[in-house]
């Protein structure tokens, strides 16, 4: 009982701090987003060195891209305790006082490693996620299966849409390699075209979201979309679903779209030029404190520059005031130095004129 009272008091204090700083809806009225932080793969019991350089960037918004805690359990009470560890961290409390925080999940905060739609305690896990991230009781997110969601920030002409996909709740089992041999990874290509990543309800919702007016769209996928040549979890493991996503973006005419991904315990920027009608960038930031710390020789023909295998976080910078507005896609190390940086004029993230 005392433990629950302490957790409740902490949640109220965090909510009050965010409300005082940002207003009741958590969004600075009339102001466009200029600095957006994101990251994934955060273990609540490991080094928290990344908080100081992240907070120094003064983000207007932060997005947790999955594996926000490592619960890896069937015990939902234990999972709540691990969320409480994250909530009690001074860095997390400072982040919440500084800016709004959005989140989706991946396997380790959803359930077990590589867990999918068959995870037996996913409803309890969903409730823990929604409660920790203080999703209002009347939110549509509370009434549907999974935790997918979307938000719009900024005034007309400078709108940023954040689309948070749920890559776990509906996920079909991925086809494992018959003989991995010396390959780094364990998943080949799933040939069953009935297998799904998003589930039909989420696919229908995503089509609606891609038709919502916005100048920039951040599609948050906890697993990589463009980088599909490795053998770990990825959209390319279900090629019919990957192509369905590309076709949907084309069909809806959704422009200004950039993918943010995680999961891989390394950072990298990937670009595919022939998928959606304009260059599709996929910026991976992983992990905040759980990077692999070793070089990988996996194939990566879509990679821009080099990968970074040490702890990192992502930063997006939107220059709305330039005569040629642009988005800069960056990854920072825990010393506060950029290790990946690519500036993309927003005019390039549009379908060519007929």
pLDDT score at 29: 55
Task: Check: CB of residue 52 under 8 Å from CB of residue 37.
Answer: no
Determine whether 132 is exposed, middle or buried from the number of CB atoms within 10 Å of its CB (0-12, 13-18, 19+). Answer: buried
User: Could you give all domains of the chain from N- to C-terminal order, each with its CATH number?
Assistant: 2-348 (3.60.21.70)
Alpha helices by DSSP H, the chain: 2-22, 51-56, 76-88, 90-98, 107-110, 122-132, 140-143, 200-210, 239-252
Distance in angstroms (rounded) separating the CA atoms of residues 93 and 39:
16
Contact in structure between 230 and 185 (CB atoms under 8 Å):
yes
Residue whose pair of structure tokens reads 């821009």 in the numeric block: 304
Prediction pTM value: 0.92
Burial class (CB in 10 A: 0-12, 13-18, 19+), 271: middle
Q: What is the predicted pLDDT for the residue at 4?
A: 38
Q: Which tokens sit at 59?
A: 């983000």
Averaged pLDDT, groups of 10, the chain, 354 residues long: 38 39 46 98 98 98 98 98 98 98 98 98 98 97 97 98 98 94 90 97 98 98 98 98 98 98 98 98 98 90 97 98 98 98 98 80
Q: Which residue has the tokens 């909530």?
A: 87
Q: How many CB atoms lie within 10 A of CB 284?
A: 31
Which residues touch 180 (CB under 8 Å, ≥6 apart)? 186, 231
Q: Smallest Cα–Cα separation from 262: which of 55, 64, 36, 57?
A: 64
Residue position matching structure tokens 């992502």: 314
Would you say 175 and 216 are in contact if contact means Cβ atoms under 8 Å apart? Answer: no
Placement of tokens 């679903």 in the chain = 241
- Least Cα distance to 252 among 221, 206, 219 occurs for 206
Q: What is the pLDDT of residue 6?
A: 38
Alpha carbons 186 and 308: distance in angstroms, whole number: 22
């Amino acid at each position: 009982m005392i433990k629950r009272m302490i957790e409740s008091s902490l949640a109220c204090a965090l909510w009050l701090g965010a409300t005082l700083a940002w207003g009741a809806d958590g969004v600075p009225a009339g102001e466009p987003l200029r600095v957006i932080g994101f990251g994934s793969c955060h273990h609540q019991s490991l080094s928290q060195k990344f908080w100081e350089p992240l907070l120094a960037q003064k983000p207007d918004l932060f997005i947790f891209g999955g594996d926000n805690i490592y619960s890896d359990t069937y015990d939902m009470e234990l999972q709540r305790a691990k969320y409480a560890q994250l909530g009690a961290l001074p860095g997390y409390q400072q982040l919440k006082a500084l800016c709004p925080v959005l989140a989706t999940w991946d396997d380790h905060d959803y359930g077990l490693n590589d867990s999918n739609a068959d995870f037996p305690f996913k409803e309890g896990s969903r409730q823990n996620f929604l409660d920790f991230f203080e999703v209002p009781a009347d939110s549509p997110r509370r009434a549907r299966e999974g935790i997918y969601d979307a938000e719009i920030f900024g005034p007309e002409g400078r709108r940023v849409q954040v689309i948070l996909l749920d890559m776990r709740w509906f996920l079909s089992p991925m086809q494992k390699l018959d003989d991995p041999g010396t390959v780094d990874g364990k998943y080949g290509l799933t040939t069953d075209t009935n297998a799904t990543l998003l589930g039909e309800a989420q696919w229908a919702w995503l089509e609606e979201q891609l038709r919502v007016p916005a100048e920039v769209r951040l599609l948050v996928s906890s697993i990589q979309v463009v980088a599909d040549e490795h053998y770990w979890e990825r959209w390319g493991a279900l090629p019919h679903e990957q192509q369905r996503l590309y076709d949907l973006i084309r069909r809806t005419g959704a422009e200004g779209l950039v993918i943010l991904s995680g999961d891989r315990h390394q950072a990298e920027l990937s670009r595919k030029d022939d998928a959606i009608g304009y260059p599709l960038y996929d910026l991976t930031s992983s992990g905040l404190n759980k990077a692999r710390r070793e070089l990988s020789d996996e194939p990566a023909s879509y990679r821009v520059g080099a990968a970074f295998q040490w702890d990192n976080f992502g930063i997006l910078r939107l220059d709305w005031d330039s005569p040629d507005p642009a988005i800069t896609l960056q990854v920072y190390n825990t010393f506060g130095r950029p290790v990946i940086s690519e500036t993309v004029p927003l005019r390039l993230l549009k379908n060519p004129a007929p």
